[in-house]
Chain A
Amino acid sequence: MASVFWPCDVARSGFYYGWDHPALCVAGVLEVEEDSQADALLQRVARSTEAQVLIKICGTPRILGRCVFSSFARSSYPQPDIEIFCGPSRACSAAYIYYHRHDENSMRFYALGSNGTRFFDLQDEVLRLSLKHDFSHTASSRSVSNTGQILVNQWNSAKSLEQFIEHEQRAQTTVQESNARFKETSKFTAINKKFQCTIDGIESSTNLLWRVVSFVFVYSREFSIVVQQIESRVRKLRRLLRGVQPVPNGDVRLRSSQYIEFYNTLWIILNDLIIGIALRQFLRQDRQAFLHLFKLAFEDKAVHKVRQILLWLDSWPAGLKLNTELSRFYSHSFMGLIALWNRGFRSVIPLIPMLLSTLELGSGFGVTMALAMMCDLVCVFMAHVQLCYLVSVTVYGHLLRLAGSLWNLFRGRRYNVLRNRTDPWDYDVDQLLLGTILFTLVAYLFPTALVYYILFATMRVLTILVYASLETTLAFMNYFPLFALMLRIKDPQRSPGGIYMRVEPTKGGNGVDVSVESHPLSLGVTFSQYVELWEQLAKHYHPFRLVWYVMSGRVLDTIPRTYIHSTT
């Protein structure tokens, strides 16, 4: 009893052909009288150029046997009586496992696991080229060492094989069609090439102006979110241009993933623009209210409140008697810094309406641009807090480290740099004495430094949380897999994530029908980029980490650019 993979939609009698390795998989039926005719046809197809790719991934097709369909077709699935040529030739019954033959252009296919349909996330041409030489990288579809993979490839290419055979039968060439397809896409490739040329020209030019501009660009990428956003948007657009041409005759998985990625990017950008334009209308309508709100709230909260708190800290806050000299020094210098910033702010106040219109203009380019601008504005407007925070965290950090090293001194231990541990060590009397004096200084000055540090650390943590939420929203808007989700709902067979055998009893009778169906991709895989991004963000802005950094006197900073963009 042999098990045969039979396509669901074939119910003609004739000679059936397919592959017999690794299992009997039938691709179609030829309605000819002689098996020599069928053989010759198959040989002609096998030698033609279009079928070479197919043969490479599936194996050479062959005439497997003859099938006869009984006139009663009661069950929904075809039940032929077949006679197998190769192997032990016996016209015995076979167990049929049915599979769907999907058309090449419908972009439906089977896949074994979910890594075949992973988004094509190698955006660098150079990287992709260099991966060809990486022997430890398991290429997705090139190696045919996996029997399950071969079977899946056979199922996916059954329909195209039949189409090749039909063309061969009608003796028409397919050259004209591929030529036509090629002409359309040459326009986009030309645009892409020109773009690439200009960028290369800029990067390699020795013109001073271009050098300065590129240096400024690279340098400001680290600080400004807007520049990063512009860069990533331009990169996406370039990928769009590149992705318009489809891979001719390629692996259907590759083609499908390129297609999905292309349309996903397109949808994201369009979505972005739509929401951005809506935001712009909203900002335009309530312009005055926003201006008024901003002017009222910001200066009061960010400048006057801080000054009040500093004055309060200088005069025995909550009955705590801080060291008067140090406290006075701290409060005066911080108030000086804030006053400096306030002077700058006041001279910028007349320009705020212009800032708001820039924001509107930016949101016309997409809500992501608006969010990026808001991030940068938060940074700029909180610059005074950042400066004061840097000063106080330096002092606090030094005090803590001094206390730690003095503790080592008193225990009679010294840090051994060669072995990275603390070893017992005999200190001189004068070293102990100086350590004692320093210890009294640190012990009595610590509360004052701590109080001022707590104030600015709290403000910095709040700023960072606001900034983090803005950045999270920005990252999510940039990379949402909207198209993949819609595809999953609309046509699950186009984004397969695995196969399973469905067993159902035959209508009216004994026995069961087994058919191969495909699971849609699991949500986890669809959102995998998202999950990675979220993990990066959560790891950097985790509350426990923030609290630990505050307590140990380390500088809190926003997430560096390489963390986010390395996952995309």
Chain B
Amino acid sequence: MSSEAEGWNKVLWERQPFPDNYIHPHSFLSSLRRNPNFKPYTYWPLVLLCCAITQHLATIFTFLAVFVRLKERWLDARVLLWVSIVSFFGGYVLYEILSCSNPVRGAFTRTPCTSTPGPFIDWLHHSGSNTIKSSLLVFLALMGLSPVLRTLTAATSSDSIWALSACLFLLNALLADYSSMKPVPQERLTSVLSMNAAISSSVVLASRLPDDLAVFALVLFAVQLFALFPILRHRLQVTPQVAQILFTLTLCVLSFALTVPLSVSVAYIYAGISITVTFVAPGVLVWAQKYKNEIRGPWDVAVPRLN
């Protein structure tokens, strides 16, 4: 601390006896902060959040199992059709109940909830008619397009079909939206692309099926699982933890049970992947936290904090 340094101020608009790039040795990089906003992950909440990925994988394998059954004619197309319709209604009712009990704040509230009797009329006015119209539209469009969809890739050989379908499902799993927050009002491009990949994959697989009704049932089921189910999954993230864990477990067990009669090795591979994703991967992430090294300082661009 020489007497010279005492007169030094870290400003440039004052003529000082020091050169412009002088800095006091003690105060060099004193305002460097390491990991200032660091909130370390803990294991179990991370596992809970990873349940979304597990659920998605479960749906993929369920779909594949159903497809194989349809192809081998072990499953009747009409049964699948009824299952789809019933689960659509069930899922929609669940969705509405969840929205009512946890009203989503923000400008995009679609269903203002009233506890007065006659919620049916309210529901019909606000969003029910929309839902009925759009679901009917999709249903009829698929029914009309199923002969075309059956012959879209009929000429391709089966090997290419399996490969193409696998790639598309991989794409779907990678790009899917697993976030647990309220979804942005606008669908992001990646989540739309992942839905596209899943639907394309199901169309590609549907070309192996024998008749039109089976194609229609499969594509409808795919639309349910890959387009409508993720929306429900978002809503389910706000339920209490026990419910989520139970739901995940149910789905995994269901898909495992559907896959085992078809091929034991595939079932075991699937189980392995599931367990890795759910339990091992969060552990790795937690372990890797110690390598986190984020440097911030007053030289960075300021980040406004919006509450």
Contact = CB atoms under 8 A, between A and B. Distances in A.
B101 interface: no
A437 B186 contact: no
A132 B279 CA distance: 93
* B interface residue count range (under 10 / 10 to 19 / 20 to 34 / 35 or more): 20 to 34
Interface stretch (B8-16, B50-58, B78-86, B223-231): B223-231
Nearest to A439: B196
Given A440-B152, A441-B145, A430 B138 contact: yes
Nearest to B156: A321
A436 B145 CA distance: 13
A444 B192 contact: no
A324 B150 CA distance: 12
Interface in A427-460: 427-430, 432-434, 436-437, 439-441, 443-445
A412 B186 contact: yes
Nearest to A443: B200
Nearest to B155: A321
B186 A429 contact: no
A335 B203 CA distance: 31
Interface string B110-140: 0000000000000000000010001101100
B138 A410 contact: no
B185 interface: yes
B142 A437 contact: yes
Contacts of B203: 440, 444
A292 interface: no
A416 to B, nearest CB: 16
A528 B228 CA distance: 69
A413 B203 CA distance: 26
A324 B151 contact: yes
B34 to A, nearest CB: 38
B295 interface: no
Contacts of A441: 145, 148-149, 152
Contacts of A428: 130, 134
B200 A440 contact: yes
B154 to A, nearest CB: 7
A549 B129 CA distance: 45
| Dominant SS among interface residues on chain A | helix
Contacts of A443: 200
A411 interface: yes
B199 A429 contact: no
Contacts of A64: none
Contacts of B134: 428-430
Nearest to B108: A426
B141 interface: yes
A445 B200 CA distance: 13
Interface string A70-83: 00000000000000
A429 B145 contact: no
Nearest to A320: B155
Contacts of B148: 441
A323 interface: yes
A325 B185 CA distance: 41
A555 B198 CA distance: 36
B189 A429 contact: no
Contacts of B227: 429, 432-433, 436
B187 A430 contact: no
Contact of B155 (A324, A425, A426, A427): A324
A433 B138 contact: yes
Nearest to B226: A436
Interface string B27-56: 000000000000000000000000000000
Contacts of A353: none
Given A410-B193, A430-B137, A434-B138, A323 B155 contact: yes
Contact of B228 (A429, A437, A439): A429
Chain A to chain B: the 10 pairs with minimum beta-carbon distance, closest first? A430-B134, A321-B155, A444-B152, A436-B199, A412-B186, A410-B192, A440-B200, A440-B203, A436-B196, A325-B151
Given A424-B186, A436-B192, A437-B199, 19 more contacts: A316-B155, A322-B155, A323-B154, A410-B192, A411-B189, A412-B192, A427-B187, A428-B130, A430-B138, A433-B138, A433-B227, A439-B196, A439-B200, A440-B149, A440-B196, A440-B200, A441-B152, A444-B153, A445-B152
29 contacts: A316-B155, A321-B155, A321-B156, A322-B155, A324-B155, A410-B189, A410-B196, A412-B186, A412-B188, A424-B186, A426-B185, A428-B134, A430-B134, A432-B187, A432-B192, A432-B227, A433-B138, A433-B223, A434-B137, A436-B192, A436-B196, A436-B227, A437-B199, A439-B200, A440-B196, A440-B199, A441-B152, A443-B200, A444-B152
